[in-house]
Structure 1
Amino acid sequence: MTPFSRITGTGSYLPPRRVTNEDLARDLAVRGIETSDQWIVERTGIRARHFAAPEVTSSDLGLQAARQALEAAGRTAGDIDLIIVATSTPDMVFPSSAAILQNKLGIAGCPVFDVQAVCSGFVYALTVADAMIRTGSARCALVIGAEVFSRILDFNDRTTCVLFGDGAGAVVLEASTEPGILASDLHADGKHVGILCVPGHVSGGDVLGTPLLHMDGQAVFKLAVRVLEESARACLQKAGKTDEDIDWLIPHQANIRIMEGTARKLKLPLDKLVVTVNEHGNTSAASIPLALDEAVRSGKVKKGDTVMLEGVGGGFTWGAVLLTM
């Protein structure tokens, strides 16, 4: 019988350095850039974020989250036969952060690779891991979202540098006789590349273009609310479920207005919306597993709950996963 896949453990990690809006406003003032806690909160819902130390990489953050997820699942690193890391800020051009993390876990042999779909990365990675488990290519996977977005922020642009933070989240996804991942829905539209990108690259030892994040916030906002609703509804249809079957909505933690707008379109009360953007900022591919782990550990999300995960990011990519915990 073709197995299902089910999340058996979650984990997360935030760098120790917490940067409040007041901290950031003070640092930006030195550059002659004005902002304030009120300005940031009103537009985004963000009050703080975490920044990694200069020597800390995405795989370092992912390792801590992975260890937590393994402990929660009652597994050891030796049980893992697949590692997928969703990241837009890898440790190196190559090899993958997944390969580096595999070595840090002290294991070898199993397939490992990164997925690059920016803020949708974890949804993409979870969908790929589910497919590999269902086809028998793996039985116990680590799926991780890990980012150090502080490295690619333009601190002369207050419209973007206040939004992002660093962190990692992880899940252990295992073969199961009971359904866990109920449905997924993935999309992309490359014509929107320019509205959210880091348009630099390495050539001959030099960085060509701009190695810092660029975003057209209004364009992203308009697209995000529409495609998130469409993807969530497609997921529900594939699974034979309705809005009322959703116990918790865990969207990519980008902006509280986008998140609340999506919840309203799905006719969900806001108390079913898991929110961590206020303390984490936008941690890109890490944001969904970070929020999931916090919701599990706080007792909000319980075994048997039906959870909708959804993300939208540069590319332009978007998608959703409906699952039972």
Structure 2
Amino acid sequence: MQPQRIHVASAGTALPGAPVDNAALTRRFGMSDQWEEWIGVFIATETRHLTVDLDTGERRNTLADLCELAARRALDGAATAAADIDLVVMGTATPDRLLPTTASVVADRLGIDGVPVFQLQSGCTGAFQALDLAHRLLTTGAYRRALVIGGELNEKYFDLGQDFSKLRPEQLINYVLFGDGAGAMVLSTEPGGALARVCLTSSRLTGHGREPGQILEWFGPADRMSDRLPAAEDYKAIEETVPRMSREILDQVLADVGWTREDVDYVLPPQLSGRMTRRVVDELDLLGAKEVSCVTQIGNTGNATPFFQVERALQLMAPGDRAVGISVESSKWIRAGFAIERV
């Protein structure tokens, strides 16, 4: 029996608050004008959206709030009732709590019950892993419609009460690199009303024997006074590895789906920062493909990012156009990709 063909019925996204530009960040953190210039040149991100109010310190949204809004927009776009969803898969690196899972909270708010709900704890590739899992489960024929969600809320790593003048550059980077957001897609085995066909999803761990490029700590009552940094990145390893690994992912996706480089009309590259995205796109060398990026406007939103890219791509693609998405997770070097075709 041939496996089910899986279709993208819709995509929806959500951002908190108004965009925050680099000038606002440097003023709030007491940085010099040179820092604002440095952000523009070396990070190349212009704005991002934050759930924390930089002036008051108020936390205005939870991750569940943003994911619920994105999911409702995706359901509305697919003209699908929550009761018709029979599978939920979510990817995030920053859940609201360890338990209950944010995926379960969002499903409950939407009125989804009595179906499998999975939450994948993962960095930048979490949305790709969620898409991959949903795609594989749908192709079995056991499910008809899946809600795939991804999102990040970095406010728990924002300590607005500290003296920013004493932070090292590698610590300050996290305050300007990331943004908050959420996204969702409805996948269906039914082609009616579909926007695109999912041709391939892929996710592979490739970090055997390699040191992590990113670490996010969890501090419980027993270790909350630890002097460990809550977040740490090996930016040198990331800069050296991500462009090359992105090229390897592209080559593997094309080989697996049976496309040539000339078949790709749109490319959705990793969105670490505006500067890194340029390096990745140059390495991919897809001269005939149009780039779909959003990092300069919304920052690095981790597992929300692919949904913003897909949402934009679907607005641009004509019937028959093909797009490839690529993601690299540096925490333990996971490589992921997908291929879709507009219908």
Provide the TM-score with structure 1 as the length reference. Answer: 0.91
Equivalent in the alignment of 2:326 = 310
| Larger gyration radius, structure 1 or structure 2 | 2
Paired residues of 1:5 and 1:175 also in contact (CA < 8 A) = yes
Paired residues of 2:63 and 2:96 also in contact (CA < 8 A) = yes
* Cα distance, 1:171 vs structure 2: 0.7
Structure 2 residue corresponding to 1:196, chosen from 204, 214, 217 = 214
Structure 2 residue corresponding to 1:228, chosen from 225, 234, 246 = 246
The DSSP-based 3-state class of the residue aligned with 1:162 is helix
Equivalent in the alignment of 2:102 = 97
Q: Quick check: 305-314 or 118-127, which moved more?
A: 305-314
Q: Which amino acid aligns with 2:69?
A: Q
- Gap regions ≥5 residues in structure 1: none
Paired residues of 2:262 and 2:288 also in contact (CA < 8 A) = no
Provide the TM-score with structure 2 as the length reference. Answer: 0.86
Q: Which amino acid aligns with 2:186?
A: V
State how many pairs are aligned.
321
The DSSP-based 3-state class of the residue aligned with 1:118 is coil
Equivalent in the alignment of 1:10 = 11
Equivalent in the alignment of 1:60 = 65
Q: Quick check: 7-16 or 249-258, which moved more?
A: 249-258
* Cα distance, 1:270 vs structure 2: 8.3
Q: Distance in 2 between matches of 1:209 and 1:161?
A: 19
Q: Distance in 2 between matches of 1:115 and 1:278?
A: 27
Tell me the alpha carbon deviations over residues 143-196 of structure 1, each in whole angstroms, 9 at most, x when there is no partner: 111110232246642222210000011111111469822223322215445321
Q: Quick check: 35-44 or 157-166, which moved more?
A: 35-44
Q: Distance in 2 between matches of 1:174 and 1:73?
A: 10
Equivalent in the alignment of 2:154 = 149
Equivalent in the alignment of 1:161 = 175
Equivalent in the alignment of 2:336 = 319
* Cα distance, 1:282 vs structure 2: 0.3
* Cα distance, 1:35 vs structure 2: 5.1
Paired residues of 2:270 and 2:280 also in contact (CA < 8 A) = no
Equivalent in the alignment of 1:180 = 197
Superposition pairs of residues 106-117 of structure 1, within 5 angstroms? 106-117=111-122
Distance 1:191 1:27, change over 3 A: farther
The DSSP-based 3-state class of the residue aligned with 1:322 is strand
Matched, 1:28 2:38: no
Q: Which amino acid aligns with 2:23?
A: E
Q: Distance in 2 between matches of 1:205 and 1:56?
A: 27
Q: Quick check: 264-273 or 225-234, which moved more?
A: 264-273
Distance 1:181 1:295, change over 3 A: closer
Q: Quick check: 284-293 or 210-219, which moved more?
A: 210-219
Distance 1:153 1:220, change over 3 A: farther
Q: Quick check: 52-61 or 233-242, which moved more?
A: 52-61
Percent identity, please.
29
Tell me the alpha carbon deviations over residues 283-303 of structure 1, each in whole angstroms, 9 at most, x when there is no partner: 01111112221343xx32344
Q: Distance in 1 between matches of 2:100 and 2:90?
A: 12
Q: Distance in 1 between matches of 2:94 and 2:123?
A: 9
Q: Quick check: 205-214 or 65-74, which moved more?
A: 205-214
Over aligned residues, Cα RMSD in angstroms?
2.3
Q: Distance in 1 between matches of 2:252 and 2:289?
A: 23
Q: Distance in 2 between matches of 1:147 and 1:270?
A: 32
Matched, 1:260 2:278: yes
Q: Quick check: 184-193 or 276-285, which moved more?
A: 184-193
* Cα distance, 1:65 vs structure 2: 0.7
Q: Which amino acid aligns with 1:232?
A: L
- Gap regions ≥5 residues in structure 2: 53-58
Equivalent in the alignment of 2:44 = 45
Paired residues of 1:309 and 1:320 also in contact (CA < 8 A) = yes
The DSSP-based 3-state class of the residue aligned with 1:219 is helix
Q: Distance in 2 between matches of 1:88 and 1:61?
A: 15
Q: Distance in 2 between matches of 1:55 and 1:191?
A: 41
Distance 1:100 1:305, change over 3 A: same
Paired residues of 1:185 and 1:231 also in contact (CA < 8 A) = no
